[in-house]
Chains A and B, each alone.
Chain A
Amino acid sequence: MKSKSSRDDEKQRRLLQEYIFNLEDAQEKTEELTLTNEKLNQYSDHLEKLVAARTEELIKANKKLQQEINERKQKEEALRNLEELESSILDTIPHAVFGLSDRNFVFANEGVKNVFGWKPEELLGKSSRLLYSSDKEFDEADKNIYPALEQQKTFSKELTFRRKDGTDILCRINVARIGNSITGKSVVAICEDITDYRQAEKEKENLQAQLLQAQKLEAVGKLAGGIAHDFNNILGAIIGYANIIQLKMPADDSLRTYVDHIVTSSQKAANLTKSLLAFSRKQVMDPKPLELNQTISKMGKFLSRLIPEDVELKTNLYTKDLIVLADAGQIDQVIMNLVTNARDSLSSGGVIEISAGKFTIDSEFKETHGYGDPGEYALISLGDNGVGMDGEVVKKIFEPFFTTKEVGKGTGLGLSIVYGIIKQHGGYIEVQSEPNRGTMFNIYLPLIAHKIEETDKPKIMIPQARGSETILIVEDNDDLRILLKDILEQYGYRTREAADGMEAITEFYANIPDMVILDVIMPRKNGREVYDEICKTNPDMKFLFISGYTADVISRKGIIEGGYDFISKPFQPTDLLRKVRAMLTKTEFKK
């Protein structure tokens, strides 16, 4: 049997055993927990590192992404700039540039506004039918353009288009297909309005023709003028001697009729020469302020006698004075020539109308006509409703010796003279004519600011009186010099002669005359030089210049300016005598 103490011991041991095991277990678990904790800490560290690494990667990736975004933005910006540049390039082109797809607008530049009147946004998406005047035109363009673009890349043609406002314009259109083949009718077109260009080209052609015409007339004029000058000297001699025969011959001489014929024929020849000189603008001009209304009304009375009864002459005068600086005789001649021509074109009656007015030539006039210095002009319009002329005739009417009249009826110089006279007056003449409608001449003469004074009194006729004064005749042409001498001696004058300038000086001082008749153009010393030399010692000496050249040529050579006494070859002996007498008488009055 067991004692109580041994049972207590056993119980205690058993409890202790349990306690120890529990303790061990707890300890072990604690260790395990610590271990786990450490592991957890380690794992946490590991995780943190992992997170850090990942974060860094993310930041890098982010940076890269941002960079890519920036690059993309830059590229987009560059692209946008390029698009803007393209668009502004397109808009800078003054022509219409547009794209079509299946004949509908896909883009259009600002130029379409200028060319077609449409705004670009009004055209987008619409059919290009808008640009054509009719369906037919639209279809026509289709047939013309698209098949051609199957063969070639580009196509160019002149076509008529219609603007938004309904006006038609001529355009040069250049079309290019997009891509290698013409699929879907995708094209780009550039359209240039050439309406004005064509117009300008036509005008330019016109101007060139006018210039050519003017140059031709100028050349012919020079030629005619050159011949006329020599003719004048020859005719001067013929007429002069014939006049002397007439004067010396008894009134009932059987030969008088022949001499009369010589004089009248020579006179005709002289007139012809004068006409040539007028055309070549080498006629002596005596410009004075002239009121054109007066001129026309005065001429009207005279002209009405020239025209038949079935032709009506109307004159429309201007309400105010039209004063020009002109040679009255020459202006009369112009009007008469034009009226005569008008009359001849009105074989079965009609109307001739002369109108006077005022006209301002401006830069626009010059652009359209190719001539005309800007300023105020008197405009004389002379029109008829006669047979008119075609373009070819109109081109030639101012040419000398061109005539549509029958042989013997016209000289072909009438209008040449008119042309020459108007040119010489610094004016312009133009003609408009249409077959069977009539002809209209417009004459422009520069207006001057001048009041007409009462100087238009009839000239005092100086009697063809005889004289006894001594006259020195200086003339290199022997025939003319002898003629002058004969005429003057016939009327009682004493004469001395010199054949050139040097001789003139010697003769003058050998025995001082009352007057010197001086040819302007001479060998050795010319007229002007002789004049200057004598004037130094004899300032009151009277000089009468004679020349075949007209005033403008003379003044160009620096020989004679205004205010000198002058007589042109060929001259009538009576004119010479009257002039000489008048000059000598004036001297006497002075004294």
Chain B
Amino acid sequence: MGIKKILIADDDQPILSYMQRKFTKLGYEVYVAGNGEEALQQIFSCLPDIVLLDVKMPGLSGIEVCKRMRADDRTKKTPILLLSARAQSAEVKEGLNAGADKYLCKPMSFPDILKEIRSFD
């Protein structure tokens, strides 16, 4: 399995902890962050195999994190999935432009999210 380390960032605590629990249970090495700065810090310190980012977070948004990751050589090619309640096509376009590999619109069931993650394997 190529993907081992996952970083998840979301400011909605119940969602974050649910996914952390689910992925851990499935055997993944899970890192979590409640905002953009924290997410970036973790990403550069532990270099996850894939990143699942909420777009709307206090401080740095998911779009911004995505841009900075692409600007850094270490994370230039790390798959990034954006997960957002913003489902306007302009918003989707902005995300993909920022360098995200996929833009997922909430609500998503966990099996569907897992399916998306595994598609990068």
Partner-B contacts on A (CB < 8 A):
2, 6, 9-14, 16-22, 24-25
Contact = CB atoms under 8 A, between A and B. Distances in A.
Contacts of A6: 86, 88
Contacts of B86: 6, 10
Contacts, number: 45
Nearest to B110: A24
Contacts of A24: 18, 109-110
Contact of A21 (B85, B87, B88, B110): B110
Given A13-B105, A14-B12, 16 more contacts: A9-B87, A10-B56, A10-B85, A13-B85, A13-B87, A13-B107, A16-B107, A17-B12, A17-B15, A17-B85, A20-B108, A20-B109, A21-B15, A21-B18, A22-B14, A24-B110
Contacts of A2: 88
Contacts of A14: 12, 85, 106
A9 B87 CA distance: 8
A18 B85 contact: no
Contacts of A12: 85
A6 B110 CA distance: 24
26 contacts: A2-B88, A6-B86, A9-B85, A9-B87, A10-B86, A10-B87, A11-B85, A14-B106, A16-B107, A17-B85, A17-B106, A17-B107, A18-B12, A18-B15, A19-B107, A20-B107, A20-B109, A21-B15, A21-B18, A21-B19, A21-B110, A22-B14, A24-B18, A24-B109, A24-B110, A25-B18
B109 A18 contact: no
Nearest to A16: B107
A18 B108 CA distance: 10
Contacts of B12: 14, 17-18
A10 B18 CA distance: 20
In the A-B complex, list the 7 residue pairs whose CB atoms are closest, starting with the nearest.
Answer: A13-B85, A16-B107, A17-B107, A17-B106, A10-B85, A13-B106, A14-B85
Given A21-B14, A25-B18, A16 B106 contact: yes
User: Taking each of A14, A18, A19, A24, which has the highest tally of chain B beta carbons within 10 Å of its own beta carbon?
Assistant: A14
Contacts of A16: 106-107
Contacts of A21: 14-15, 18-19, 110
Secondary structure at the B interface, as helix, strand, loop or mixed, is: loop
Nearest to A25: B18
A22 to B, nearest CB: 8
Contacts of A18: 12, 14-15
Interface in B72-121: 85-88, 105-110
Contacts of B18: 21, 24-25
Interface in B25-46: none
Nearest to A24: B110
Nearest to B83: A17
Contacts of B108: 17, 20
B107 to A, nearest CB: 4
Nearest to B91: A6
Nearest to A28: B22
Interface in B1-15: 12, 14-15
A502 to B, nearest CB: 163
A5 to B, nearest CB: 10
A322 B87 CA distance: 170
Nearest to B111: A24
A474 B14 CA distance: 177
B108 to A, nearest CB: 7
A21 B83 CA distance: 14
Contacts of B85: 9-14, 17
B20 to A, nearest CB: 12
Interface in B48-86: 56, 85-86
A30 to B, nearest CB: 15
Contacts of B109: 20, 24
Nearest to A6: B88
Contacts of A13: 85, 87, 105-107
Nearest to A3: B88
A6 to B, nearest CB: 5
A24 B25 CA distance: 14
Contacts of B19: 21
Contacts of B15: 17-18, 21
A17 B87 CA distance: 13
B24 to A, nearest CB: 13
A21 B21 CA distance: 12
Contacts of A25: 18
A191 B19 CA distance: 107
Contacts of B105: 13
A25 B18 CA distance: 8
Contacts of A19: 107
B57 to A, nearest CB: 12
A300 B36 CA distance: 176
A323 to B, nearest CB: 146
A455 B105 CA distance: 179
A414 B97 CA distance: 183
A24 B109 CA distance: 8
A454 B86 CA distance: 183
Contacts of B88: 2, 6
A20 B15 CA distance: 10
Contacts of A10: 56, 85-87
A69 to B, nearest CB: 59
Contacts of A22: 14
A104 B107 CA distance: 108
